[in-house]
Structures are given as C-alpha cells and as structure tokens.
Structure 1
Amino acid sequence: MLLAIDAGNTNVVFALVAGDRVKARWRIATDPRRTADEYAVWLSQLLTLEGYTRDDVTGVIVATVVPRALHNLQVLSSKYFRTEALIAGKPPVEWGVAIDVDEPASLGADRAVNTIAAHALHPGDLIVIDFGTATTVDLVDYSGAYKGGIIAPGINLSLDALVTAAAKLPRIAIETPSDTSVIGRNTTDQMHIGIYWGYVSMIEGLVARMKIEVGRPVKVVATGGLATLFERHTTLFDVIEPDLTIKGLAMLWDRAHM
C-alpha cells in the first residue's frame, strides 16, 4: 500500500491508500522539530490498531508546505519503510498540469495536488475551496490548468486573532449554529454568529465574484477538515471531497510508476 503524507501548516496527515481507496488516515500536529523516530513510534502504533504493519507500506509520497518538516519525513520513509519517498512537484513526480500564474514556483504543493485531483475527478471548470490553516479558493479550468485563486485567513486563525486582540472575549469552539438567527443575545452567541456567518458570507461572496469573472458554468469542490462545518447552511458546494489532497498524491504516485 501507499503511504501518502500531506504536511500542512497545522497538521500532518498520513493516509494508507490501496488503489483508489483510502484505507486509513491519521493526523498529528505539525512540528518541524519532530524526528523520524518520533513519527515512527506514533505511526507504528496506529498501524497496529488498524490491523497493519510497516511491512504493508510499499511506497511513500510526500507533499509539504512546511519545508523544514520534509527532511524528517524523508528519513522516516527510508529508515522505517525502507523506501525513498517521492516528493510531490519534484522529479519524477512533476505536476504535469499548467500552472498559469505569475509565479508558478510559489504555488503551495497542496493546492497543486488539489488541482490535479479535482480535474481528474470532475470535468469542466472548477472552483476548489480548501478549508485549512488558510482558506484557499482556486480556479481550475476545463483543461486542468491552475489559473489562480484567493488566500484568506482560515476560520481558526480569524478566531484566534479576535480572542488575542480583545482581552474580554472568551475562547469559544467553532461549531455549526443550531439556528439561522444573526442577532446574538449574549457575547458568546454574538461571537459564534460573527465568526460562522461572517465566514459563510465571505466564501459565498468570493465564489460569486469568481464565477462572474469566469463567465462559464463552474462546479464548486470543497475539501479540508472544516468543509463539512459549513455544508448545512450553504448551498455553495456542489461536492465535498474530504480526501482530495490524498487522492491527488495517489494519482501522482501512479503517474510516476506507469
């Protein structure tokens, strides 16, 4: 099986992939100081809980937006899985799609991998929204080319900034509201409304503007850990692909071994 690793700014996601199926996935907080040995102890225990061993892993591929985390993940692969990890975007797994922006090299690996997976799974023009540390809204045209996009603070970043800057505001959990009222009767409710409905309005507004600019029918694909948080109160998403990045990594792996 393939071990696909998506190292983001907040979490590193490890997923076991067999064919087109994600068999298991685990998250750990991103820490560039975490050693290969620490990863191996943690991951070996989780593999055992799911009924697997390290011997079941026959290949490793990594996408990262945290360069300092890459070395220890490569050591993890070579030392504990006895295989050299492929790095998304580097030979022999170049993107294979047009990155049609002013600075192609600056595009995050996760966004490039999402572009590949979204185009393979859904025909036509696409808007891909990834709810992560930052929220990204990306345009992928009908040919599979990445055409540009938007970077906004993620909802957790927005909440952290609000609580940090305002001494009397409490730290709250982000959750789907039980009703659609936007008139809060207490501080906590008012914060929930501002964060949740403010975020829904921002995403709906940005996507509406992007659709007008494209001028053609566009399918909206959502991914990221927080995508399902908004599903109940917006009709914006045509489809939610929770494993979009992992599927993209598996596609890159398959392409390199054709």
Structure 2
Amino acid sequence: MNLVIDFGNTTGKVGLFTNNDLIKVMRPVQLDDIAKFFDEYDIQNTIISSSSISTSNIRKKVHGNCLELSHKTPLPFAINYKTPETLGLDRIAGVAGAYFNHPNENCLVIDIGTCITYDVLVNGQYPGGAISPGLTMRFKALNTFTANLPLVENEGSTELVGDSTKNSILSGVANGMAAEIDGFIENFNHKFGPLKVLICGGDYIFFENKLKASIFAAPELVLKGLNGILQYNVS
C-alpha cells in the first residue's frame, strides 16, 4: 500500500493507494495525524509533497521507504521550465496526474485552489503555464485594498447582475474567474492544438458547470499524480 501526503498552501490531505487504485482520501490532515496511518494500514511506500510544512518534520512521522518530491525527482516527462527550483510541487504533481491517467494525450491542467494554475503537457514535455489569484484571494484583495468594500465569501450560484454591493462582488469575482478560465483554455488550445482540459483543486466544483469549454473534472488528480511519481521511482 502507498501513502501519499500532500500539504498545500491552506490544507493537508492524504491518499491511500493499492498500486494505482485510490482507495481512501482523508482531508483535512494535520502533521500529528500522519503517524496514525502507519498504525492502521500496512504501508510500504510513502511520498511527501509539502509547500507549507517542513518535509523533515513530516518525515519524522513516516516509516519505511519515503520519497520527498522536488524539482530533481526523476519523472517520465521532461520539464522545460527556466526556473525549475521555483516550480510548485502541486504543479508538478498535477501534470504527472495528467501524464499517468491520460497517456499519449496533450493536456491542460487547471488547478483551482488558493491560486489558479494552468499547466500544459504536450508531447511528453512540460513547457510551463500560468498562475493567477484564486477565489478567496480575490475576495480578500477587494476588501483589503479598498476603503468600503466588504469581505465576501463565495456562495456557489452567482447572478450576472449584482443587485447589491455584496452580489456585485460575487458576480465580478466568480463570473470574472469563469471568463478568465474560458479565455485561457481558448488561448492554450490555439497555441498547442486541441488539449484535454482537466480541472481540479478545492474550488473546482464552483466552476465545473460555469465554463463554456469542454472540460473533465479530475478532483484527485494531484494525489494520483503523486502516486504515479512514487510508483515510477520505486518500481
């Protein structure tokens, strides 16, 4: 059994895999929860991806064979990124998820979380992508950098025409993000040819039915990508 540990910018989650099959997902997970999985499950291999907690602290909770993801980790696709040492681990994992789950297909991975990341995989090559603010960050920015706009939280359904300041913010942020995502999909398709578009991340559900483009929901793509990288390195 494989244990996949993913601590992102805002939350932690864990996936349990038998070979390539995801059998259990747990979120949110704290650092002190990690050791419990080794008491409850027969875990042979572990991979750690963390942008918020020191991997050395996580490793203290882990038993057996453990891989720490970095830009130097061997991958089955080429990273053609000018500054690979600055490349987010979640972006590497998302592209890996596309590679392992959609072999021989050119893909655009859109991860909608704290930030929105757009990452392209074409002919087994990763050239890069784009990063923009996510939902919560946009709501906070409007509140922080203005004198009178309130802090608003996303409510899911949003009308185009806001009939109050709150609803106007909801419209501007949510509909603006949907238009941005559709625009990026169109531009990436124009540049690279038809791409399979995969969306994931904590806020993807808010946009699954808002987009005009053809998309495929892949809610656990990052975990699956991490497991694929683990399998690739231990096999």
TM-score, L = length of structure 2 = 0.89
> CA contact under 8 A between 2:44 and 2:65: conserved in structure 1?
no
Give the C-alpha shift of residue 84 in structure 1. 4.3
Q: What SS does structure 2 have at the residue aligned with 1:15?
A: strand
Question: d(CA) in 2 for partners of 1:97 and 1:198?
Answer: 33
Q: What SS does structure 2 have at the residue aligned with 1:28?
A: coil
Q: What SS does structure 2 have at the residue aligned with 1:231?
A: coil
- 2:127 aligned with 1:147: yes
Q: What SS does structure 1 have at the residue aligned with 2:207?
A: helix
Q: What SS does structure 2 have at the residue aligned with 1:85?
A: strand
Shift in alpha-carbon separation, 1:97–1:89, aligned structure 2, 3 A: farther
Question: d(CA) in 1 for partners of 2:150 and 2:115?
Answer: 22
Q: What SS does structure 1 have at the residue aligned with 2:166?
A: helix
**Within-5 A mapping of 1:84-233:** 84-89=65-70, 93-122=73-102, 123-141=104-122, 143-177=123-157, 181-214=159-192, 216-233=193-210
Q: What SS does structure 1 have at the residue aligned with 2:120?
A: strand
Question: d(CA) in 2 for partners of 1:177 and 1:257?
Answer: 44
Question: d(CA) in 1 for partners of 2:107 and 2:233?
Answer: 25
Question: d(CA) in 1 for partners of 2:120 and 2:191?
Answer: 11
Q: Percent identity?
A: 26
2:217 aligned partner, one-letter code: I
Q: Which runs of 5+ in 2 are unaligned?
A: none
Question: Size of the alignment, in residue pairs?
Answer: 234
Q: What SS does structure 1 have at the residue aligned with 2:110?
A: strand
> CA contact under 8 A between 2:71 and 2:84: conserved in structure 1?
no
> CA contact under 8 A between 1:184 and 1:193: conserved in structure 2?
yes
Which residue pairs with 2:22 in the alignment?
Answer: 22
TM-score, L = length of structure 1 = 0.82
Question: d(CA) in 1 for partners of 2:197 and 2:210?
Answer: 15
Give the C-alpha shift of residue 217 in structure 1. 1.4
Give the C-alpha shift of residue 200 in structure 1. 0.5
**Deviation digits for residues 113-132 of structure 1 (CA, Å, limit 9, x no counterpart):** 21122022223221110112
Shift in alpha-carbon separation, 1:139–1:217, aligned structure 2, 3 A: same
Q: CA RMSD in A?
A: 2.3
Which residue pairs with 2:226 in the alignment?
Answer: 249
1:217 aligned partner, one-letter code: P
Question: d(CA) in 1 for partners of 2:55 and 2:136?
Answer: 25
Q: Which runs of 5+ in 1 are unaligned?
A: none
Which residue pairs with 1:83 in the alignment?
Answer: 64
Give the C-alpha shift of residue 140 in structure 1. 0.7
Question: d(CA) in 2 for partners of 1:186 and 1:210?
Answer: 35
Q: What SS does structure 2 have at the residue aligned with 1:22?
A: strand
Q: 1:236 aligns with which of 204, 213, 217?
A: 213
Q: What SS does structure 2 have at the residue aligned with 1:56?
A: coil
